[in-house]
Amino acid sequence: MQVTEILTDHTLMALDLQGAEDYPIRFYLDIMDQFDRAGIHWHWHPALEFNVITKGTMEYFVENEHYTLTAGQGIVKNAHLLHMAQPASHTPDAAMFSVIMDPAFLAPAGSVIYRKYIAPLLGSQGLGSLVLRPEVPWQRAMLEGLRQAYALSQAETGAYELAIHTHMCQVWMAMAEHQEELPRRALSPAQRTDQVRAKQMLTFLQAHYRERLTLDQVAQAANVSRNTCLACFRRVLGLSPMEYLLNHRLEQACHLLLTTHWPVSQVAEACGFGDASYFGKAFRKKTGLSPAKYRARQRPNPPSHPKEASPYDPT
């Protein structure tokens, strides 16, 4: 399945990603330059996620961790982790496949297998995010198992559901056998509070990025002081709310430059930049190009008819 946007609720929990109750696993193909809003924005879900990069270079942000991964590498993210992904600036057509899996897909929650091999890697004291590198033998085996499972999900021939289950069990077994090498979350009560507040502030910023915003407004979204807002945001995401807001606005601008025929000034206004000159400077700093040159380079053969409607239309 291919998606072009991650829909979330008011807490940034992703909707409709997980599989059916009786087969709780789903596979997705993510081609970044076809993705709505220029990437996969901050969200979380109560399922595990596995990604394998098949083309180009991807940047992953998992809470306050940042990873740059290239084709052939992958990443595992535990449930309930805030995360986002975007293509590196030099490979906008980067691609990956994703596996979203409820741990109960491997074994029933009340079983010995679940208690002994699955539960210890879950929860606030369990696995964090794990980068999979092909030069590490057991991680290479995980990458190959994920590729096999994805291929089966696309072919849907024979007893493919059983075969997918076998491969995902093998992927999990590799982690279970190397538990001592896995990064652990070990969240304290204070860190869990930080996560809740960060989700509230991110939700506000993503909903109101087109507007003039102040730090006080962002802090109010989580019912905290300005200082607490700044400290919490940096602890969870590694940057300030206003740095995130600028990056988010620029990502939306990249998307609009490639998908509409709007003048640069209209793109700037639609993305919350009141000053087109400031927008140009900020855009050039992020991409190394002016908005007009970025559009010309990334979209040398634009569609003959501009889009008539867009959810970003400021009118």
Among 18-22, 122-126, 140-144, 304-308, the minimum mean pLDDT is found in 304-308
Is 60 exceeded by the pLDDT of residue 310?
no
Beta-strand pair 95-101/83-87: unpaired
Please tell me the predicted confidence (pLDDT) of residue 314. 38
pLDDT, mean of residues 99-122: 94
Q: Which of 97, 275, 126 is nearest to 187 (CA)?
A: 126
Q: What is the per-residue pLDDT for 6?
A: 65
Closest by CA to 116, choosing from 49, 176, 175, is 176
Q: How many CB atoms lie within 10 A of CB 161?
A: 13
pLDDT at 189 (0 to 100): 83
Mean pLDDT of 247-257: 88
Tell me the average pLDDT across 56-84: 92
β-sheet with 48-55: strand ranges across = 25-31, 95-101, 48-55, 74-77, 129-132
Distance, in Å, from the CA atom of 126 to the CA atom of 104, rounded to the nearest integer, reads 16
Confidence (pTM):
0.75
Instruction: Classify burial at 277, counting beta carbons within 10 Å of its beta carbon; exposed 0-12, middle 13-18, buried 19 or more.
Output: exposed
Contacts of 59 (CB under 8 A, 6+ apart): 66, 67, 68, 69, 85, 86, 87, 88
In this predicted structure, the answer to whether residue 37 has a pLDDT above a threshold of 50 is: yes
Q: Regarding predicted confidence, which is higher, 251 or 29? A: 29
Counting residues of the chain whose pLDDT is more than 70, the rounded percentage is: 89
Percent of the chain with pLDDT over 90: 55
Interval 260-306: pLDDT, tens: 899 999 999 999 998 899 999 999 998 889 999 988 887 665 544 44
Q: Residue 82: pLDDT above 80?
A: yes
Report d(CA 51, CA 132) in Å as an integer: 9
Instruction: Write down the pLDDT at residue 306.
Output: 43
The token pair at 25 is 């696993």
In the predicted model, what is the mean pLDDT of the chain? 87
pLDDT: is 31 or 304 the higher one? 31
Instruction: Indicate if the pLDDT at residue 312 is higher than 50.
Output: no
Q: When comparing pLDDT for 186 and 23, which is higher?
A: 23
Report the distance separating Cα 88 and Cα 38, nearest Å: 11
Higher pLDDT, 6 or 46: 46
Residue among 204, 205, 210 nearest 271 (CA): 210
Residue among 295, 305, 302 nearest 268 (CA): 295
Phi, psi of 9, rounded to the nearest 5 degrees: -90, -165
Give me the pLDDT at residue 41, please. Answer: 81
Average pLDDT for residues 178-190, to the nearest whole number? 84
Helix/strand number for the chain, H first, E second: 10, 9
**Could you read off the pLDDT of 192-238 as tens digits, one per residue?**
899 889 989 988 998 899 999 999 999 999 999 999 999 999 988 88
What average pLDDT score do residues 92-115 get?
93
- The string of pLDDT tens digits covering residues 40-68 is 888 888 899 999 999 999 999 888 788 99
Q: Are 155 and 97 in contact (CB under 8 A)?
A: no
